[in-house]
């Protein structure tokens, strides 16, 4: 691959999170190095999505801290996380159903569009220039993800696999430094998964985007990721390269459901 | 094959982003504008202008305002009547305090007062979501209605608690008050409505419109893209109330000639809401179609039986129109929740295929 | 300025202290109107609990049912027979609503159903005016053998006047709440109602007939509406203005929660009492007529501190 992994860009230390009486995460620590593809795996309910939600600010942990690009904090607002350069996709697809695919991607450019209210009201001039500039950028992403044919379709009408691709496109439109993908291949067939893998690899390779990915399909995880962290019942039970993790007894036990 | 876009390839994003990308649409709009600005003043009767065209235009503007807030941003508002009232009374006070200033300027300025009030009542949207927020707008509506009676300064201490419009002139022509001609008033209303609708169309197709719709569709996802929810919602309240305020000012100054607190009560709010629902939430065209339907229906009901020689009392016609409007709302929600505007779009689709069925 | 502060923070309490009989009177009147608000809210809660629909038309159902009762009586039908017939009419209405509105819209988002009830409201307003005319009518309290007159009870050196009809209304409301609470929690139908409120799909999959449940619930709401209409009409006339008063049920629901039956009663009492107190003790300061908006502002302030209402559940959004 044409990129080199750098130092840690994201460090999660001792995160504990609970809702009412239910403990979602317990003292989880792990780090993500710049330009790498990091997978988080684990049985259902292990707390993987909750961890992503903590990183991008939807959940505020009771204990622990998150450092992104050197800046340490416990709680952050989602839109601050976006400002810092973190983007994410969701397990259940969080697209704006009333809008077309193109508009969804254009919404991803919201932070980068600076024209003011009056300029928008007039449209001719500054606002239109900016709109076209960002339209050109978004069209590059549309070409990259091969979704030209559906750009004007309301996303509510798209099949599941294409919706996931549009959601990835919207995240890419933010030009993030860290991309959090929550089960990007869920519900896809073999061909769709291959396409998605290709996109993820290219994004990482050509744009240098650091990627954290939750995934259930083991072959995908083994092929794509540089390092893997394993969660079970809210705790991290293993951390290392795919090969190391695959052979780890604790991981095997967790997946086979051995009582402990 | 009239309505085909075959052969109209867009070679630039600029052409694609235009308001009316299809040539036939452009021609259609040009014709409508020509008809509105030139045809109507030359041919329509005073009755038509005063009783149908001006009211529909004014109410369309209010409906556009509400549509921006409820249809595009998803914030249900029951305070439209109150915000219209703020614009009306603000305009009245402005003409009292600044008698020399151009009336059109004052009408547009009164929109800002309405925007300010609207923003204040939108402040709870920081903590309150969805349906509960509608209650805040309801509080706004009842409170403002109360203010319009209880603050005599607003109606210059008039004994009957109502406001009467003074005669204002523009270029020597009377534009408000009993001496103004319907055509003059119509042209001013038309110009203001056309301009503000263009602004609304610009807002809606750009960044601001998208952030509004994002907040409507899934506010959590909007947050994580970096959209600031609170500012977006407050802006929606401000802009929407501006439009309603201007509509209210025009209602008094260019249509009715007088008003009182009751003109801006909760029933007015419901009326505009129904226009938006039937016309189509989230569609600017829908605001016009809904206003035309709801305003026109009682008129048609009153006139049509006379056509056939049957006479119906005016009150009965109104009651029948209530029944029909109620049934229509239910009908539309079942058959086409996106209202008349979607029906229009579907009609255009069919037109593209014409004369082939599919 | 001090005059204003004095008027807000000191004077009203002084008044309360120096005329305790007036205090009790205001309290009682607040309670009496609060009970009626609760009854309207109860109708909302019933329908919302079982179908997730916020029935904006509850207010007009109150008016419509009362009008039907009076209208039948005006045409010579004896009072109790008219009552029975009106109940039948409300059943027919419930069936019609289920077939024409609820069934076709079963999978639509709640906001669409809410707007459909707007349509229903206007429809019933128009229909009611067409059939019964738009003039206010007098409730047939005598024919129904409802108590009239009042008690004067000496208290704190003065006295309190309690209308017998208000006492009757309170008793009836409490009876209804008790009956409904038992119905919801102890019977098979009640369990089915709660199941439908939770999840339509799940309820269907265990064989509960949504249509039947909805008809039952709208009918029950219709009966509650009729009781409310009779009580309201007995205190003041039956007119379409009642429709707007029904909007007051919203602040009640916000305080009491949209799905809690006891909450409707408690919320109604809080709003009723709060409104009367505000109107009587603080009203003169601001001008008359503040009861037109006070209830909403109370609810609004409340929402700012507790966005889910008194009895509502905190919604934790899961992503």
**Is B347 in CB contact (< 8 Å) with chain A?**
no
The pLDDT of residue A95 is 92
Measured between CA atoms, how close is C107 to chain A, in angstroms?
A: 15
Enumerate neighbours of A (3 or more CB pairs within 8 A): B, C
**Is B156 in CB contact (< 8 Å) with chain A?**
no
How many angstroms separate the CA atoms of A228 and A214, rounded?
10
Instruction: Give the lowest-confidence range in A1-5, B275-279, B317-321, C208-212.
Output: A1-5
CA of B330: which chain C residue's CA is closest?
Answer: C116
C-alpha distance from residue A235 to each of A40, A230, A248 (Å): 12, 8, 15
Q: Do A49 and C316 touch (CB under 8 A)?
A: no
DSSP A134-182: HHHHHHHHHHHHT-GGGTTSBGGGS-HHHHHHHHHHHHHHT--SEEEEE
Q: Do B322 and C126 touch (CB under 8 A)?
A: yes
C-alpha torsion angle, residues C289, C43, C103, B77 (rounded to 10): 20
Q: Do B226 and A174 touch (CB under 8 A)?
A: yes
Measured between CA atoms, how close is B207 to chain A, in angstroms?
A: 7
DSSP C155-180: ETTEEEEEEHHHHHHHHHHHHHHHHH
Contact A58, B224 (CB under 8 A): yes
Q: Do A123 and B206 touch (CB under 8 A)?
A: yes
Instruction: Give the lowest-confidence range in B283-297, C26-40, C244-258.
Output: C244-258
The pLDDT of residue A245 is 86
The pLDDT of residue B247 is 96
Kindly tell me if the per-residue pLDDT of A210 is higher than 90: yes
The pLDDT of residue A7 is 86
Range among B103-112, C76-85, C121-130, C134-143 with highest mean pLDDT value: B103-112
| Per-residue pLDDT tens over the stretch A6-52 | 888 888 888 999 887 888 899 999 899 999 999 999 888 788 989 99
Q: Do C316 and A19 touch (CB under 8 A)?
A: yes
| Per-residue pLDDT tens over the stretch A105-149 | 999 998 888 888 888 888 888 888 899 999 999 999 999 999 999
Chain A positions in Cβ-Cβ contact with residue B282 (cut-off 8 Å): 98
Kindly tell me if the per-residue pLDDT of A166 is higher than 90: yes
Instruction: Choose from A60, A101, A106, A110 for mutation: most chain B CBs within 10 A.
Output: A110
Chain A positions in Cβ-Cβ contact with residue B10 (cut-off 8 Å): none
Mean pLDDT for A69-85 is 85
Sign of the Cα torsion C123, C128, C133, C134 reads: negative
Q: Which of C275, C215, C228 is nearest to C93 (CA)?
A: C215
| Per-residue pLDDT tens over the stretch C258-316 | 878 888 888 899 999 988 888 888 777 777 778 788 888 888 888 888 766 666 555 44
First to last CA, chain A: 40
Contact A17, A50 (CB under 8 A): yes
**Which H or E run includes B81?**
helix B80-97
Residue with tokens 């209303």: B189
Pair type for strands B162-164 and A63-68: unpaired
Q: Do A135 and B13 touch (CB under 8 A)?
A: yes
Q: In terms of pLDDT, which residue wins out, C288 or C251?
A: C251
Of B138, B220, B327, which has the smallest distance from its Cβ to C296's Cβ?
B138
Q: Do A94 and B225 touch (CB under 8 A)?
A: no
Chain C positions in Cβ-Cβ contact with residue A92 (cut-off 8 Å): 319
Chain B positions in Cβ-Cβ contact with residue C123 (cut-off 8 Å): 322-323, 326-327, 330
Of C115, C129, C130, which has the smallest distance from its Cβ to B329's Cβ?
C115
Of C112, C114, C126, which has the smallest distance from its Cβ to B326's Cβ?
C126
Within B206-228, residue ranges assigned H as helices are: 207-217, 219-225
Phi, psi of A250 (to 5 degrees): -60, -40
Kindly tell me if the per-residue pLDDT of A72 is higher than 60: yes
Contacts of B48 (CB under 8 A, 6+ apart): none
The pLDDT of residue C318 is 47
Give chain C's mean pLDDT.
82
CB atoms within 10 A of CB C95: 15
The pLDDT of residue C319 is 45
Mean pLDDT for C79-103 is 89
The complex's ipTM works out to 0.86
pTM, two decimals, is 0.88
CA of B316: which chain C residue's CA is closest?
Answer: C130
Describe the strand order of the beta sheet including A63-68 as a list of residue ranges.
A22-33, A8-19, A63-68, A71-73
Which segments in chain B show pLDDT lower than 50? none
Mean pLDDT for C39-48 is 87
Give chain A's mean pLDDT.
88
| Per-residue pLDDT tens over the stretch C164-179 | 888 888 888 888 888 8
**Is B206 in CB contact (< 8 Å) with chain C?**
no
Mean pLDDT for C231-254 is 79
Contact C31, C201 (CB under 8 A): no
Gyration radius of chain B's alpha carbons: 21
């Amino acid at each position: 691959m044409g990129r080199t992994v750098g130092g840690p860009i994201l460090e999660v230390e001792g995160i504990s999170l609970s809702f009412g009486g239910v403990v979602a995460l317990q003292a989880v620590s792990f780090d993500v190095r710049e330009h790498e593809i990091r997978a988080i795996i684990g049985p259902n309910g292990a707390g993987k999505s909750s961890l992503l939600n903590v990183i991008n600010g939807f959940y505020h942990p009771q204990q622990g801290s998150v450092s992104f690009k050197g800046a340490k904090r416990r709680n952050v607002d989602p839109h601050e996380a976006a400002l810092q350069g973190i983007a994410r996709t969701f397990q259940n697809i969080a697209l704006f159903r009333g809008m077309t695919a193109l508009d969804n991607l254009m919404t991803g450019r919201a932070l980068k569009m600076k024209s003011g209210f009056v300029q928008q009201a007039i449209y001719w001039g500054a606002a239109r220039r900016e709109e076209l500039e960002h339209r050109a950028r978004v069209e590059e992403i549309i070409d990259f993800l091969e979704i030209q044919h559906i750009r004007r379709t309301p996303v509510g009408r798209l099949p599941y696999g294409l919706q996931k691709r549009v959601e990835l496109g919207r995240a890419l439109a933010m030009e993030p430094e860290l991309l959090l993908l929550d089960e990007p291949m869920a519900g896809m067939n073999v061909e769709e998964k291959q396409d998605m893998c290709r996109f993820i690899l290219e994004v990482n390779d050509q744009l240098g985007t650091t990627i954290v990915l939750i995934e259930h399909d083991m072959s995908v995880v083994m092929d794509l990721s540089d390092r893997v962290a394993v969660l079970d019942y809210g705790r991290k039970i293993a951390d290392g390269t795919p090969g190391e993790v695959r052979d780890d007894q604790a991981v095997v036990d967790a997946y086979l459901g051995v009582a402990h | 094959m009239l309505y085909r876009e075959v052969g109209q390839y867009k070679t630039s994003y600029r052409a694609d982003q235009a308001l009316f990308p299809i040539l036939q649409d452009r021609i259609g709009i040009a014709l409508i504008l020509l008809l509105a600005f030139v045809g109507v003043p030359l041919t329509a009767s005073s009755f038509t202008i005063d009783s149908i065209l001006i009211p529909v235009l004014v109410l369309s503007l209010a409906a556009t305002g509400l549509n921006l807030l409820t249809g595009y941003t998803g914030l249900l508002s029951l305070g439209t009547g109150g915000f219209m009232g703020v614009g009306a009374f603000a305009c009245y006070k402005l003409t009292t305090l600044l008698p020399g200033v151009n009336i059109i300027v004052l009408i547009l300025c009164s929109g800002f007062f309405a925007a300010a009030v609207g923003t204040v009542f939108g402040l709870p949207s920081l903590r309150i979501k969805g349906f509960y927020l509608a209650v805040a707008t309801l509080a706004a509506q009842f409170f403002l209605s109360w203010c319009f009676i209880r603050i005599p300064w607003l109606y210059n201490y008039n004994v009957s608690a109502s406001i009467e419009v003074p005669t204002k002139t523009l270029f020597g022509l009377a534009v408000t008050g009993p001496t103004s001609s319907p055509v003059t008033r119509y042209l001013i209303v038309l110009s203001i409505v056309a301009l503000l609708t263009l602004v609304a169309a610009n807002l809606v197709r750009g960044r601001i419109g998208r952030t509004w719709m994002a907040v409507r569709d899934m506010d959590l996802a909007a947050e994580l893209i970096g959209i600031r929810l609170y500012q977006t919602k407050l802006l929606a309240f401000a802009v929407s109330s501006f439009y309603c305020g201007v509509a209210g000012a025009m209602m008094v100054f260019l249509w009715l000639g007088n008003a009182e607190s009751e003109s801006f009560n909760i029933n007015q709010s419901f009326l505009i809401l129904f226009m938006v629902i039937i016309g189509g939430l989230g569609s600017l065209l829908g605001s016009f179609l809904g206003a035309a339907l709801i305003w026109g229906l009682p008129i048609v009901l009153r006139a049509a039986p006379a056509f056939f020689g049957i006479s119906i009392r005016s009150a009965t016609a109104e009651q029948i129109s209530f029944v029909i409007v109620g049934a229509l709302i239910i009908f539309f929600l079942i058959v086409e929740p996106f209202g008349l505007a979607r029906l229009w779009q579907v009609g255009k689709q069919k037109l593209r295929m014409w004369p082939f069925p599919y | 300025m001090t005059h204003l502060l004095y008027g807000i923070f000191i004077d009203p309490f002084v008044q309360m202290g120096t005329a305790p009989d007036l205090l009790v009177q205001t309290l009682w009147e607040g309670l009496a109107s609060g009970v009626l608000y609760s009854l309207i809210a109860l109708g909302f809660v019933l329908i919302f609990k079982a179908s997730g629909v916020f029935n904006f038309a509850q207010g007009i159902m109150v008016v419509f049912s009362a009008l039907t009762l009076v209208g039948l009586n005006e045409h010579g039908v004896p009072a109790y027979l008219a009552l029975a017939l009106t109940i039948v009419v409300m059943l027919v209405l419930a069936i019609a609503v289920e077939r024409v509105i609820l069934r076709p819209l079963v999978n639509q988002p709640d906001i669409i159903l809410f707007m459909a009830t707007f349509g229903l409201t206007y429809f019933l307003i128009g229909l009611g005016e067409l059939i019964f005319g738009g003039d206010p009518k007098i409730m047939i309290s005598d024919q129904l053998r409802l108590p009239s007159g009042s008690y004067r009870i000496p208290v704190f050196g003065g006295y309190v006047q309690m209308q017998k009809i208000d006492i009757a209304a309170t008793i009836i409301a409490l009876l209804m709440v008790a009956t409904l609470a038992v119905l919801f929690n102890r019977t098979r139908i009640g369990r089915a109602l709660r199941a439908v409120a939770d999840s339509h799909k799940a309820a269907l999959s265990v064989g509960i007939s949504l249509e039947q449940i909805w008809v039952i619930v709208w009918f029950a709401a219709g009966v509650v509406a009729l009781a409310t209409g009779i009580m309201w009409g007995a205190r003041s006339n039956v007119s379409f203005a009642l429709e707007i008063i029904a909007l007051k049920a919203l602040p009640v629901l916000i305080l009491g929660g949209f799905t809690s039956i006891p909450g409707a009663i408690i919320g109604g009492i809080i709003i009723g009492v709060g409104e009367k107190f505000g109107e009587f003790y603080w009203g003169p300061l601001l001008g008359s007529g503040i009861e037109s908006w006070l209830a909403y502002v109370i609810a609004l302030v409340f929402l700012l501190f507790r966005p889910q209402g008194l009895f509502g559940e905190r919604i934790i959004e899961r992503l």
